Amino acid sequence: MTAPSMTTPDPARFSLNTATVRAQWTLAQIIDGCTRHGIRMISPWRDQVAKDGLKATAVRVRDAELVLSGYCRGGMFPAPDASGRAAAADDNRRAVDEALALGARCLVLVVGGLPKRGDGTPASKDLAGARAMVRDGIAELLDYARPAGMPLAIEPLHPMYAADRACVNTMAHANALCDELGDGLGIAVDVYHVWWDPDLRQEIARAGRARSANGKSRLLAFHLSDWLVPTRDMLVDRGMMGDGVIDLPLIRSWMEDAGYRGAHEVEIFSAGNWWKRDPDEVLATCKTRHAAMC
């Protein structure tokens, strides 16, 4: 037997982002499915945990001996007024508490876009102002999360989401926030959001070089799916690995060159395809494609 090649993904690193089968199964059913399919890591969403109950979920996770590669998600910091920002801060502290209760390795942050009115419409065109609110919101949350030992992972989102979901859109911006705000903050690298970036390789390397005081890398998570051509929906038309145009082994090699040894989290929002299929088939396909295509 020889050691696994750096060009072959390690099946033990496979993690299921539970959004991948959220249309078909409850979180309890997903956890049972992971046991059946030999999946050892998951990354669940707050609404799924709320539906099944935090305590009950923590027990199920422990009984199934699952590791949480992440917890989705905190963020959404910008708001039109101080009370809205305070409400977001409260909710983010609860997200940290939940991540701790579940033993997650990090809390993923989707930082929010332009401030929204109560009806969800944009309250401002001030993108720089929104980015300042994000910076201040993360700084405040770090004061809570850092002493509790819960790393925060900024997930830069594709720029098509800058208005409504996340106004941190590049690895360079996420790295700059980490440089400024320091320990306890890192990055979730989602190939769907960053594959197009001409500076991706150097920014992954930069994140890998940056070490916190305790020697931990800032690369906290790695999310996998594929970019379909054409993409028919901005949010829920992600591809299964191998069905699109992202050079997944290349980006994985950059992550490994930067020292990343964490989970490979498969996260596929797919209203028109994978959310309509038998979830057992979806999990089996995720594992096969991870082994063959990543």
Judged by the rule CB under 5 A, the positions of this chain that interact with Zn ion are 190, 223, 267
Query: For Zn ion, which is the closer residue by CB, 197 or 267?
Result: 267
Query: For Zn ion, which is the closer residue by CB, 79 or 248?
Result: 248
Least distance in angstroms from the C-beta of 215 to Zn ion: 25
Least distance in angstroms from the C-beta of 228 to Zn ion: 16
Least distance in angstroms from the C-beta of 143 to Zn ion: 25
Residue-by-residue DSSP string for the chain:
--PPPTTS--GGGEEEEGGGGTTT--HHHHHHHHHHHT--EEE-BHHHHHHH-HHHHHHHHHHTT-EES-EEEEE----SSHHHHHHHHHHHHHHHHHHHHHT-S-EEEE-B-S-B-TTS-B----HHHHHHHHHHHHHHHHHHHHHHT--EEE----GGGTTTTBS--SHHHHHHHHHHH-TTEEEEEEHHHHTT-TTHHHHHHHHHH-B-TTS-BSEEEEEE-B--SS---TTTBPBPTTSSS--HHHHHHHHHHTT--S-EEE---BTTTGGGS-HHHHHHHHHHHHHHH-
Least distance in angstroms from the C-beta of 265 to Zn ion: 7
Query: For Zn ion, which is the closer residue by CB, 106 or 178?
Result: 106
Query: For Zn ion, which is the closer residue by CB, 20 or 85?
Result: 20
Query: For Zn ion, which is the closer residue by CB, 106 or 141?
Result: 106
Query: For Zn ion, which is the closer residue by CB, 25 or 161?
Result: 161
Q: Are 145 and 187 in contact (CB under 8 A)?
A: no
Least distance in angstroms from the C-beta of 124 to Zn ion: 26
Query: For Zn ion, which is the closer residue by CB, 75 or 84?
Result: 75
Q: Are 69 and 41 in contact (CB under 8 A)?
A: yes
